[in-house]
Structure formats: structure tokens, C-alpha cells
Amino acid sequence: MSVRGRVLVNVEALNMTESVGNYVKHRRVPVIMPEGGYTTYFVPAISGESIAHGFQEVLAEEAKKKNLPVCKLCERGIFLKSTNENVFKESFDSDPPKDEFEFERNVVEKCTVEDVGGFLYAPRAGGNVKRTSNFFTGYMVPVKEALEGVVIEPQLHSRYALGTPFVEGGQGQMIYYVELSSAVYTFSFDLDTRYIGKTTFSYEKAGNDVVENRAERVDAALDAVKKFLIEFAFGAKKTRFLPVLDWESLIIAVSDDVWTVPSPYTKNYIENTNRKKEKVDYNTELFLYPENGSFEEVVVDAVDKAKKRVNGS
Ligand SMILES: [Zn+2]
């Protein structure tokens, strides 16, 4: 499943980097725009790590709802993901297996989040085991037409305690700045279900089934995509800086082989997607918003169709 879209996000503080004193900075990235020459712009962005964190939180919930295993740390949204011996012991209440193949098999079996989202085991003594994530995402950046016009603006906020004894301690009037931005952002997310519930690390045994209920695992991942997209379930500072958002367009492709939707950075990505499908088609089905219905209808349809393929009906 491949998802690309354009989303208008107004007054957002979804991905902040450092705070300098009482000033909290929005993430910025360099983006090159070809216009005769090449000009570099520093623009507000939302990192793929931030999106991945949100997705895995939803995935942990969906897996638990289906009674699929999730380790003790992932179920609380702490994605240390088998980093070392201590993390493994805390996550699974057992000692890490010495054999690399057994290690991966063990983690995949016992944690749906690490099965889908991968992990990196790097113990001090060596013997690293890596599982690549089965989903892919990246930076959200302003779309091409918005790139030159986009700004980041620090907003002043204050907290008053005047008339209380706390004034003397310097707490009378706390002022702070939060950088906000507004832009039409690109959105990209791919899910490759091929290795969910299977081993990948040992080349001799890559592709061995670990779980009997592979379809259930894939269903959980797809249900997570559905909830994640419909609820826009990622980003920080949403308790007081809940953004005003509106999806402009979205394409979801469901295919029997790897088939990614072209980049939504330029407006003609919808046309590019249709043209790509004319040339390359792995039983590829496209679901387009707004052409094929409301945002929710399009997402639900795409996920339902993908589930049917996995469950062979
Ligand atoms: Zn886990």
C-alpha cells in the first residue's frame, strides 16, 4: 500500500526541535527549488521519525485490540525496540537468544510493533541483529507552490500569577515563545506487507513464517493505517496547538507488488500517478480523494480492498 497526499495544516507546532531558554523552535530543513538555477530554502518540516512514532502508537493499540502480542515497552509508546540486553529483558521478561535467527524470530513472534516497524539490537558485546521496518515514511515539507511563501512565526504566550505569593519567586509573569507555521505539506507513507510475520535477517532463512496468523498481523497494520490517516494521529503539542487541517488531495495505491505513488511535491502528481499506472501495473488499484468520495470513504475503501487481497477473498 502506498499513500501520498497534500494536506493544508494551519497554525501548527507539530514538530519542535530544541528550546533555547523560553523559545521553542520549529523543525526546519533545507529544500532545493529549481528555478533557472537552484535556490535553497529553509522551510518548516515534520520529520519522518515523528510520523513513524505516531503510526507505531496506533499500531500498538490496534494489535492489542486484536489480542496480538505487543511487548511491555511498545505498548506504552516507548519505542526502544530491543536496543540492547536490558531493553530486551524489560520488554519480554526473558534473556535474549544468542542465535541471530532465533533472536529475530523471538522478537517478531512476541511484538507486533517490532514485527511491522523493525528494530535494531546493538548489544555492547556485539552480535547485532537488524530488522528493517516494513513501513516507510519521511519528511513532510511544504509543496512546491507554497515553498517561497511559507514562514515560521514565533508566537508570544504568557502565564500570569499576579496577586499570588509566587510573584516574588519570579513566577509572576512567565512569558514564552512557540514557533508556529502554516503550510500545505506533502505526506508520504508506504506499507510493504511481504515480510510481516516473517524472518528477514539471516539470508538463508529469510522469508520463513514466524506466526501462523500472518493475515491478522497484516490486518492490524492496515487498520492502523486507516485510523492513523483518518485521525491524523501524529505530531507534538496537540493539547494546546491543535492544528487546523484540511486534506487537499490523497492517493492510495494497493498493489500485489511494490508500486509507489509519485511524489506529491508538484501539483501534477495525480496525473503522474495515472500515467505510471498505464505503464506499470501490478494489479494496482488507485483510490483518490476527492475524486472517489470523502476522505474517510477513500481511506476505508482502500484498506478494505487491501485486507481482502491479504485474506484471499
Ligand atoms: Zn516491542
The mean predicted confidence, pLDDT, of the chain is 95
Give a yes or no: residue 72 inside a domain. yes
Instruction: Determine the distance separating the centroid of ligand 1 and the alpha carbon of 83, expressed in angstroms.
Output: 10
pLDDT(48) > 60: yes
Give a yes or no: residue 101 inside a domain. yes
Please classify residue 263 by burial: count the beta carbons closer than 10 Å to its beta carbon, then call 0-12 exposed, 13-18 middle and 19+ buried. Answer: middle
State the cell numbers at 239.
Answer: 493539547
pLDDT(69) > 70: yes
Give a yes or no: residue 11 inside a domain. yes
The pTM (predicted TM-score) of the whole model is 0.95
* Lowest pLDDT segment from 8-17, 31-40, 65-74, 181-190: 31-40
Give a yes or no: residue 154 inside a domain. no
pLDDT(170) > 80: no
Give a yes or no: residue 15 inside a domain. yes
Instruction: Determine the distance separating the centroid of ligand 1 and the alpha carbon of 119, expressed in angstroms.
Output: 8
Instruction: Determine the distance separating the centroid of ligand 1 and the alpha carbon of 114, expressed in angstroms.
Output: 5
pLDDT at 167: 80
- Report the relative pairing of strands 244-254 and 37-44 from DSSP bridges: unpaired
Instruction: Determine the distance separating the centroid of ligand 1 and the alpha carbon of 269, expressed in angstroms.
Output: 36
Write the pLDDT tens digit of every residue in 80-123: 999 999 999 999 999 999 999 999 999 999 999 999 999 999 99
- Report the relative pairing of strands 285-289 and 152-160 from DSSP bridges: unpaired
Helix (H), strand (E), coil (C) string for 236-278: CCCCCCCCEEEEEEEEEEECCCCCCCCCCCCCCHHHHHHHHHH
Give a yes or no: residue 248 inside a domain. yes
pLDDT(313) > 60: no
Write the pLDDT tens digit of every residue in 266-287: 999 999 999 999 999 999 999 9
pLDDT at 80: 97
The whole domain housing 275 covers 2-149+181-310
Give a yes or no: residue 175 inside a domain. no
Instruction: Determine the distance separating the centroid of ligand 1 and the alpha carbon of 29, expressed in angstroms.
Output: 30
Give a yes or no: residue 171 inside a domain. no
Q: How many domains does the chain have?
A: 1
